[in-house]
Amino acid sequence: MDGVYLGKSQGSVFDVVDLNRVEVLRGPQGTLYGRNTIGGAINLVTRKPTGMLDGDASVEFGNYGSKVEKLSLDLPKLGITSISLGAISDRRDGWVTTASGSATDNLDNRGNTGLRLAANFALARNLQADYRFDKSNIDENGEFGQLYNLNPTFSLYPMMSPYLSRHRQTVASVDAPSFENVHTEGHSLTLTWDASSSDTLKSISAYRHLDNRDASDYDGTPYAIAATQRLTKYHQISQELQWVGHTDRWNYVGGLYYFHDDGYTDNPQTFFFGSVNYDSQYGTRSDAWAPYGQVDYKLLDNLTLTAGLRYTDELKGLDRIFGCNAGAGCTPPTGQTYQYLIPQGTHAVGRFEAFTPSFTAAYKVNESLNTYFRFAEGFKSGGFNGEFSDPTQSSAANVQETQTPFQPEKQITFELGEKSSYYGGRAELNTAVFQNNVRNLQESIFTGQGAAASIIRNAGQAIVRGVELEGAVTPVHGTRLSANYAYLDAHYNSYIDTGVQVKDNRAFVHAPRNTFNIVADSKFLHTSWGTFEAVSDYAWTSSYFLYPYQLSNNPSAPGYDNTKQFASNTHVRSYGLLNLRLALTQVPLGNHASGELALWARNVANTAVANNMIDFGPSFGSLTEAYFNDPRTFGITGIVHF
């Protein structure tokens, strides 16, 4: 966001106030962005202060008691200073109500507030300082983890089966606390010095802090079968120096990047009416630095060659504590509750490094057609399995697994594409064909052993091929139709599990074969009191797997193990979502203001799909909890621009 890498997924989901645009770049981007990127980069760019008094205010009302208020305000320039402020409040009742006696009154609600400050300082004719501050508070009840699957042979099946359903439920009965409290705060300062007409030096300094507390009922019933909490504190600092310049035929950028983060998580868990308890804690930290550079050379007027190189060096550390009580299979010392299979003081440290080059050739055929070829290597750092635990193994084995690093994942990407326009820009077509060759593929595997946790394994090698088509047409003035389609073919070349080649019997995760979306945006009626605009968008995704589990239940299949999970239990079916919006815009409100009124509906067809699941495995009765998407929501929004 605004050039600052967000290092923790728990703290990267928040409302961005005054968002100007979103840039999405596929494939490794390490020679242009600070932290290594193997899959791509999502770049959030916020709006700059204008230095003039203006702004927007809006209020939105919807079903489930939804109310969203936003304010964006630019202040007049004062001396060398331009300031803008933004704030948001987003409240909604949960769409899952709870039965009498539950630990909370509703689930899947919203309670978010956000604040943003942007201040630009013109320190000198060629020196600019930009300060950004954002703060976000999330105070919600958690999502409903619905009981989705359970083996009838499980001892508690008769008790739990009344709450078992494959359909989205809007009424729940839960016993454990379910909440999500996330507080994030970020500061960044960007200094830009125009050293000459062709060279610019930039410094980006940033600090971010996260305080996350969440709790979940993991069985979806009113019985104390499974419950867990995560209490996390995390902070990061980063510093990036950039030199950007150009000549007649050259463009160049060089940079030096440093990143440090430090976090600690307390993850207590309890199962089977409090008889099985785990004390699971882990702290992580990393120090990363990277020099990088990229040059463009205009070899011909219509041919540009680009080459880049990045060196990454990361030092990662882990502190780990894991203990369990007698009910979990441990043997605590006399007078103590827990036996610590991974005792306090268990520490691991490792260094990971890589050179990642890139090369692009872009050829402009004519004013309406551009083609390109791109080669790039990506790097995902190695690390340690900070959540590993297994009471069936000795303390020495638990410590050894904790201190054994998984290796970096590396990717080589090839991409060939074209971008074209027709009929004076009224039609566009972009095409991309790509292949990713992945080595030391890192797979996150939920083990179901010990404390509910995941481990990362270097599974082997994979190839991901794909085609993307993106088109748009303006049939009449004010109406734009756009669509895109993506095809993905992902498979393992090698997947070694406990010494066995199982590449044909493991699911490739989060890789739908086909996806497409269609958007129609039309300003279809202009009047003296406003313009009517209608927008509809439909997005469809084919089925995909969530975990790299077994595909075949045939005992003769390679790597078959009936004590481990099967991919079919966490398979997301194909689904499509339709959103509609009808607005009256540019309504005159005096000499210096205008208004907008919009009716909207999301998930119009009320499609229900379980798009996230956790399978606890055969040893836990294949208990699977599922999280469903939101049902149909609708409402009205009023906006004033001044």
What are the pLDDT digits (tens) for 104-136?
889 999 999 999 999 999 999 999 999 999 999
Residue with tokens 């690390």: 383
Find the mean pLDDT for residues 253-274: 95
Find the mean pLDDT for residues 482-507: 94
Quickly list DSSP for 262-328. EEEEE--EEETTTTEEEEEEEEEEEEEEEEEEEEEEEEETTEEEEEEEEEEEEEEEEEEEEEE-GGG
Q: Would the pLDDT of 569 be above 70?
A: yes
User: What tens digit of pLDDT does each residue of 318-332 get?
Assistant: 999 999 999 999 999
Whole-number pLDDT of residue 10: 65
Q: Would the pLDDT of 26 be above 90?
A: no
- What residues does each domain of the chain span? 9-641
Whole-number pLDDT of residue 292: 94
Lowest-confidence pick of 19-28, 236-245, 387-396: 19-28
**What pLDDT band is residue 36 in, cutting at 50, 70 and 90?**
confident
3-state secondary structure of 145: coil
Find the mean pLDDT for residues 81-92: 96
**What pLDDT band is residue 260 in, cutting at 50, 70 and 90?**
very high
Handedness of CA 217, 219, 222, 223 (dihedral sign): negative
**What pLDDT band is residue 546 in, cutting at 50, 70 and 90?**
very high
Contacts of residue 421, defined as CB under 8 A and 6 or more positions apart, other chains included, come to 368, 427, 428, 429
Q: Would the pLDDT of 448 be above 70?
A: no
Which pair of structure tokens corresponds to residue 86? 């933004």
- Cα 475 off chain centre by: 36
Q: Would the pLDDT of 62 be above 70?
A: yes
Distance (Å, rounded) from C-alpha 611 to C-alpha 543? Answer: 10
Tell me the C-alpha to C-alpha distance, in Å, between residue 40 and each of 31, 32, 43, 54: 12, 11, 10, 35
Distance (Å, rounded) from C-alpha 371 to C-alpha 23? Answer: 20
Find the mean pLDDT for residues 41-58: 93
Backbone angles phi, psi at 367, to 5 degrees: -65, -15
Whole-number pLDDT of residue 451: 76
Find the mean pLDDT for residues 28-38: 77
The dihedral region occupied by 23, where left means phi > 0, alpha psi between -120 and 50, and beta the remainder, is beta
Task: For residue 47, give the DSSP letter.
Answer: P
Whole-number pLDDT of residue 636: 98
Q: Would the pLDDT of 32 be above 80?
A: no
**What pLDDT band is residue 12 in, cutting at 50, 70 and 90?**
low
Whole-number pLDDT of residue 13: 61
User: Element (H or E) spanning 544, and its range?
Assistant: strand 544-545
Lowest-confidence pick of 12-21, 324-333, 622-631: 12-21
**What pLDDT band is residue 35 in, cutting at 50, 70 and 90?**
confident
**What pLDDT band is residue 640 in, cutting at 50, 70 and 90?**
very high
Q: How many residues does the chain have?
A: 642
Handedness of CA 33, 38, 40, 46 (dihedral sign): negative
Whole-number pLDDT of residue 177: 86
CATH topology of domain 9-641: Maltoporin; Chain A (2.40.170)
